[in-house]
Amino acid sequence: MTGYLKQSSTLLQFVTFLGFFFGFFALYIAALQTITPAMTGQSLEAIQSGAFNDPNLIGYLKITQFFYTIVAFFVPAALFAYLWQPYPATYLGLKPAPKGIQIVIALFAMYGVLPLAGLLGEWNETWPISQSAKDMQTMAEKLLAVMLRMPTIKDLFINLVLVAIIPAIGEELFFRGVLQRLVIKATRKVWLSVFITSILFSAIHGEVLGFMPRVVLGFGLGAIYVISGNLWLSILAHILNNGSQVVMLYLFQHGMMKDDPMKDTPVAWYYVALSIPVTIALFWALSKKSTPMSMIDPVEEKKKDGADEIGMDENL
């Protein structure tokens, strides 16, 4: 298997993967700045400002969001996995397909981390940040609210694809499928690596006042992957988290729910205290129903002739 990235050092693998990310991200930005004025006659900043009043501009923003996920996350992860070894789907944890009981447990476990995410989110809201950062976050929240206006059922399905399904696939391939595996390989400490990856996952979203909830959600997604070895479960849990927000917002907009899901609601401490042991129990149950891949390279041993190595994990 000469020439595959798996034969390179961990540092070179990191450099290659991050190079893919920054390279494709730069390509996306350059294309956006070139194509946007040609197609709309306006800059991206003008479109973002005008989207509050022009539905056509909202559609354009949704298209740019779709291509951002594909170009910045999906393509680098898929390309790295393809170059890493001849079985990219196996490397990413996309084979075999998960069992029904695994899906049920993983989805319930994802719901289990939400109370802690909500409680830390309340604390996160008290963080002192600059006025410019507050203004940027306020603008981002307003744009998101505009993009998630759903007057028809068609809009609901479009937003489920653009906000729940596509980002879940792209981000899980990138963060859990590749980045988390590389961090584990570098540190040889699985749970520390899951935590580090969850911090990076949250940081890249660029929302300071939403940082801690995303760290908790990222940790939950990373734990599902580590315990099960199946990335499909993390993808489905991610879809569940994003998709449920979209559905609840649709129901609220059409008067079928009283509480606005985009507004934070206080979380009782005892609810969090109860959810933590329940979630741990769910993760334990998932481990009993799974045969995870090894996330750490086994210690290399050499035969007496020094030529052959044994105990190598082909999934890493």
At 198-235, the pLDDT tens digits run 999 999 988 888 899 999 999 999 999 999 999 999 99
pLDDT band at 49 (very low <50, low <70, confident <90, very high): low
pLDDT band at 141 (very low <50, low <70, confident <90, very high): confident
Q: Which residues, at least 6 apart from 156, have a Cβ–Cβ distance to it below 8 Å?
A: 150, 246, 247, 250
Mean pLDDT computed over 225-248 = 95
CA 54, CA 2: separation in Å to the nearest integer? 54
Which residue would you say has higher pLDDT here, 144 or 200?
200
Average pLDDT taken over every residue of the chain: 86
Return the structure tokens found at 282.
């769910």
Q: Which residues, at least 6 apart from 1, have a Cβ–Cβ distance to it below 8 Å?
A: 7, 85, 86
CA 198, CA 217: separation in Å to the nearest integer? 8
Report pTM: 0.89
- In terms of average pLDDT, the best of 35-39, 298-302, 308-312 is 35-39
CA 279, CA 159: separation in Å to the nearest integer? 29
Contact assessment for residue 243 and residue 164, using Cβ atoms and an 8 Å cutoff: yes
The dihedral region occupied by 215, where left means phi > 0, alpha psi between -120 and 50, and beta the remainder, is: alpha
pLDDT band at 176 (very low <50, low <70, confident <90, very high): very high
| Per-residue pLDDT at 146 | 82
| Per-residue pLDDT at 52 | 61
Q: Residue written as tokens 């170059």?
A: 83
| Per-residue pLDDT at 53 | 67
Return the structure tokens found at 100.
């029904």
Q: What is the DSSP letter of 47?
A: H
Return the structure tokens found at 130.
């600059």
Mean pLDDT computed over 70-96 = 91
CA 179, CA 220: separation in Å to the nearest integer? 15
Residue in 149, 161, 95 with CA at minimum distance from that of residue 262: 149
Handedness of CA 162, 163, 169, 173 (dihedral sign): positive
| Per-residue pLDDT at 277 | 96
| Per-residue pLDDT at 35 | 84
